[in-house]
Amino acid sequence: MFAEMMATALLALGAENLLFAGGSGFSRALRSARRPAAAGRYALLVAWFSLASALIGFRPLPPFGTGGEALRPACFAAAAAGVYAATAALLRFLLPALYRRVSGLLAPAAVNTVVLAMPYVRRSFSFGPAAAAGYALGTGLAFYLASLLLAGAEPKCRNADMPAAFRGLPAAFLYVGILSMAFAGFTGGRVF
Amino acid sequence: MTARWMTCGVNLEREKEPSLRGEIVALPAPGGLPAPRTFAPLRKKKPGRARILGAAEEAGIVDELDGEPLARKLSRYAARKTRVLAAVCFDDDPLATGEQAVLRENTAQVLAGLELAAAACGAAERKIAAASRREVRRMRGACPGVGFWAAGDRYPALAVLRLRHGAERAGTIGAQACAALAEAAKGRAQCETVVTVAGDGVSRWMNCRVRLGTPVGSVLQAGVPDENPAVVAVESAVNGRAVTDLSEPVGVLTRCVLAFRKLPRRRALPCVGCGRCARACPRGIVPWMILRQLESGAPDPVFLLGVERCIRCGACGAACPSGIGLAAVVARAEAVKEGGAAPCR
Amino acid sequence: MKRNGQLLRGARSIFLNGLLFRNPVLVGALGLYPLVAAARSVGSAAALSLLFLLLALPCGLILCFFGMLAPRWFRPGLVLLVSAACYPAAAALADLLLPGSVSGLGMAAGLMICNSAVYSRAEEYAPEHVAAAVLADAFGCSLGFAGVAFLLGALRGLWLTGSLPGAVLPPAGKGFDLPFAGFLMLGFLAALLQWLNRRRAERAAERLKRRIP
Amino acid sequence: MPLTKAAAPFVRGGLTVAGMMRNAALALLALLVLPVVHYGPRPLLLAGASVLTCFACRVLVCLVRRTSVSFSEFSVLVTGLSVPMLLPLNAPVWLPCAASAFAVLAAREPFGPFGRNPFNPSAAGVAFAALCWPQRVFSYFDPSRPYGFPLFGRAAYRAAQSPAAVLKEGLKPDILPLDLLWGRTPGPLGTTAILVVGACGLFLFLTRTAKWEITAGFLGAAALIAALYPRILCSPATSVKYELLSGSLLFGAVFLATDPVTSPRTFSGRCVYGAFAGALTMAFRWFGTYEQGVCFALLIANAFAPLLDSAVLRLRGWEGKTHEA
């Protein structure tokens, strides 16, 4: 279970944002996510969004069957958007100091939450409060570990001796590829 | 848990025998150098502290271990309430044997100087730090009233020794400085030094006593060098410097003149992560991490820990199987840290 | 007329940037997961590209027109909402055009909602640019995404069926449709693109040097 | 006479990278001896083909990068030799070649020359082969009856289950312990002769090519887990015996985990790394799909190595500060 979550988190990280340079969109979040301190905050936010959207988001999901397949992810994403808006508004008006510190991370964390939850959205899961807490904790932890790993990979993917064509992002792709190869050893076939 | 002094340092192949075989050869002073200065000798049998320091100052004695004037060093030790004073009678360098030869041949002078120095800094105990246990056995009979330390056989032996006896409030001075202090008591200024001539580029390895200011070239000639050695190095084979101008004068710090047939460089490979540099460092610095930090372009001061402690012994670079010049890396890191030029993340 | 020409040229360069030089996938590292996990054949690549276009276009346009109305801090939520709202329609349309394709994508289809390529374009680019630029950008990005998707899908499909021209190796088992293979291929493709971009930059620098002696 | 302004040091310690790699290559070659004695020259063919592939890939990379081709360090040779050790003898020749090509082209060269690779190339190559062609990587011939393996072409052999596969099914392997030690068991080519692997390990530790603490941590953690959670119904000692002696666990602990490039550089980091890799290997045996998990486990542990180092140094920094204060 944890391995699966870890694999998901790793893929989500590799996939959905943050690795690396890029400059488009997430660069600000990236830069802050590269620092281990910010990675902790980031992971906490992801855990919070996971908890909230697991408690809210999974409830009203339409059942499988007629058109539900397309609606379920959409509903969950909408729920996450709602949680994001609520969190951002609350923080902004109640704890502006805290908000300033995490504002750059809030949105990517919300998006990541949706990504991380997607395998569970497709299965018909309904979380009780305890299970939701466990799920959030696992997601947060896996996310934290994964971002630590990628932070450790950063200097390896950007050294002076490597071919210029591979420096930076391409090497990072290869790095994540080999790492996800290792995690694939657990499941052999499918990841999810 | 083993103490760090037991494991730090690097094993280098040492060749001490050839240059110790013969006696110290006194080279004639070249013309043009002024005659050695003399001044009023110390009269009393047991002179006071101030007088000894004054004589050391007057004689212009410089400690060959670190280039610090002896008078300053002794008053520093006195202020620090040094308990043990050790005369360093071994050489860090794998080829040099000057200090060892001085102890063997000028034992009485070294002992007399050590006694004066101990009196000057108020040290209760005197020690001779000899090159090995064998050397201790050999010299014990000739040195009544002093204790012995045996240096280890790993490279920065002096630093390892300091690390080992650091808790005993020990001070160290060079054997030649001791001998010079004994001479100063008789009213003679420091005017000569013992230099080892060695390396695969010379055919006669030996120790010679030369006047300060003699050109390096004439010292080298005494060892009958090859036609054209590639490198001539002074001070040390590990952390010394190459000399291109052979008319450079010999100083107290010269200590050895080494000629090598071949260039020392191997092609430097990237760090393979064996961790030997950190193990070799007697000061607890982690050179590979410093290299990694500097390479990353944005060094994190947390990981430049301890660079200011570096004593430039060069053990890290000598230990590195990839042949990376780690001593220079640490020096650069120190400059970065001190200059504040490091772009903190 | 002149302004139109300028606009056109601007749009062209925006389009080219999205397509190749600043490819959202290979340079921006955005929206990777669906590609890596799901682009297993040409068919699935087509479905992914279609979904991308159907999401990027409306999201970009809606945010372009209404994005400035929402406060800055609320915009990410808005983008997520809009894209979630567009998704069922887009999925239905894609299923209509390529029957059975969306369900074949599995989880990756759902992930297109929070695809960071769509998301970042809609959140940062669209509200601050004119509609024409947004349109060009959306088409460019979609084509860039589609290009990578088709390349990956084709390569993997060939390898999986063992019909690689002149191949001596037997078909790789299921291993090769795992995400890791996608990542590795992406790595080499990105290296190729980075090499191209570097050469382009070098050439430009040379040209500049020649012009200004 | 023209003198050069060279930089110190003018002498160096005896150990060089080339020497370390030579020792590792020698140890790997020693593993080939028993299989050659038992089964004829085919092991040499596999190893040779794999090494040739590695060299060819390296030359190719050098040509593409337009740098001079140099093999001053033997690391390519070590990669090329350790890949076929983890594959069965009855595998087709292209299998080790494909694995080592992957090792050099994807896991090593993109990250720069030797010393820069974040993952152990051999482990990555074998893991790749295991994921892509699991039937070929995990099918072994039965060594209890004599075969002459032809050098080329397909050999007729009777397939047998390796002890690791039997353990995976929750049964007790029906193999004499002596056979386990001498390598007369189905399994990867270079990993079955436990005694030889152990002797090679000793050689590597004594020449200071490999660090003993990694192997010790690895085996210790694996033994602890095997004793606490035996996969088969037996006493803890039996479980430890079979778990440690079966499959490529020992080979991984001695040859792959001790690769200095991809393991941590601090002593405590290495201890933790070894234990972590051992525990992960056992986790792969418990939960993984395949009977061998060493390569996968090592890849994951490799990713953690830089983190362990920074953690250790951070801790040391704190300690230093508290002492100074």
- Is the pair C, D in contact (3+ CB pairs within 8 Å)? yes
Sorting pLDDT into bands at 50, 70 and 90, what band is B194? very high
What is the structure's pLDDT at D183?
Answer: 77
User: For C91-128, b where at least 16 C-beta lie within 10 A, e where not — what string?
Assistant: beebbeebeebbebbbbbbbbbbbbbbbbbbbbbbbbe
D270 inside domain: yes
Sorting pLDDT into bands at 50, 70 and 90, what band is B103? very high
A138 inside domain: yes
What is the structure's pLDDT at A50?
Answer: 78
| pLDDT per position as a tens digit, B139-178 | 888 888 888 998 888 888 888 888 888 778 889 999 999 9
| pLDDT per position as a tens digit, D200-255 | 999 999 998 899 999 999 999 999 999 998 888 888 888 888 888 888 899 999 99
Q: Domains in chain D: how many in total?
A: 1
Q: Which domain holds residue A135?
A: 2-187
Q: Do B317 and D320 touch (CB under 8 A)?
A: no
Paired tokens of D237? 């000692």
| More confident call, A3 vs A128 | A128
D4 inside domain: no
Closest D-chain CA to A2? D287
Closest B-chain CA to D311? B303
Asked if the C-beta of A166 comes within 8 angstroms of chain D's C-beta atoms, the answer is yes
| pLDDT per position as a tens digit, C166-196 | 455 555 566 677 778 888 888 898 898 889 8
| pLDDT per position as a tens digit, D146-199 | 666 766 666 667 778 888 888 888 788 777 777 778 878 888 888 888 899 999
What is the structure's pLDDT at C27?
Answer: 67
Mutual angle of helices C131-161 and C179-211, in 10-degree steps: 130
Distance separating alpha carbons of residues B8 and A190, to the nearest angstrom = 50
**Residue B34 CB neighbour total at 10 angstroms:** 9
Distance separating alpha carbons of residues C113 and C31, to the nearest angstrom = 10
Q: Do C78 and A81 touch (CB under 8 A)?
A: yes
Asked if the C-beta of D110 comes within 8 angstroms of chain C's C-beta atoms, the answer is yes
Q: Which of B179, B258, B325, B211 is nearest to B18 (CA)?
A: B258
What is the structure's pLDDT at C7?
Answer: 59
CB B147 within 8 A of CB B307: no
| More confident call, D108 vs A101 | D108
Residues 6+ apart with CB under 8 A from C100: none
Q: Which helix H or strand E contains B324, and what residues bound it?
A: none
Residues 6+ apart with CB under 8 A from B173: B63, B65, B70, B73, B74, B85, B86, B87, B88, B114, B117
Asked if the C-beta of C176 comes within 8 angstroms of chain D's C-beta atoms, the answer is yes
Report, in angstroms and rounded to the nearest whole number, the Rg of chain A calculated over CA atoms. Answer: 17
| pLDDT per position as a tens digit, C27-70 | 666 667 677 777 777 888 888 888 888 888 888 888 888 877 87
Q: What are phi and psi of B343, to 5 degrees?
A: -70, 100
Asked if the C-beta of B283 comes within 8 angstroms of chain D's C-beta atoms, the answer is no
Interface predicted TM-score of the whole assembly (ipTM), two decimals:
0.87
Entry pTM? 0.86
Sorting pLDDT into bands at 50, 70 and 90, what band is A68? low
Q: Give mean pLDDT, residues A12-31.
A: 35
Tell me which of A47-56, B278-287, C137-146, D26-35 is least confident.
A47-56
Q: Do D133 and C175 touch (CB under 8 A)?
A: yes
What is the structure's pLDDT at D203?
Answer: 95
| More confident call, B223 vs A147 | B223
pLDDT at A65 over 80: no
A27 inside domain: yes
What is the structure's pLDDT at D8?
Answer: 75
pLDDT at B280 over 70: yes
Which of D94, D106, D132 has its CB closest to that of C175? D132
DSSP label at B122?
T
Average pLDDT across chain D, whole number = 86
Q: Do B295 and A160 touch (CB under 8 A)?
A: yes
Tell me how close the Cα of D220 comes to any Cα of chain A, in angstroms. Answer: 22
Sorting pLDDT into bands at 50, 70 and 90, what band is D321? low
For residue D96, give the CATH number of its domain: 1.10.3430
D98 inside domain: yes
| All structural domains of chain B | 4-29+44-185 (3.40.50), 276-339 (no CATH)
Q: Which domain holds residue D290?
A: 17-320
Q: Give mean pLDDT, residues B289-302.
A: 82
D201 inside domain: yes
If you count them, how many residues does chain C have? 213
Q: Up-side HSE of residue D78: CA atoms within 13 Å toward CB? A: 28
What is the structure's pLDDT at D316?
Answer: 82
Sorting pLDDT into bands at 50, 70 and 90, what band is A15? very low
D228 inside domain: yes
Q: Domains in chain A: how many in total?
A: 1
What is the structure's pLDDT at B128?
Answer: 92
Domain ranges of chain C: 2-165+174-211
Paired tokens of D188? 């990867």
Q: Give mean pLDDT, residues A124-143.
A: 67
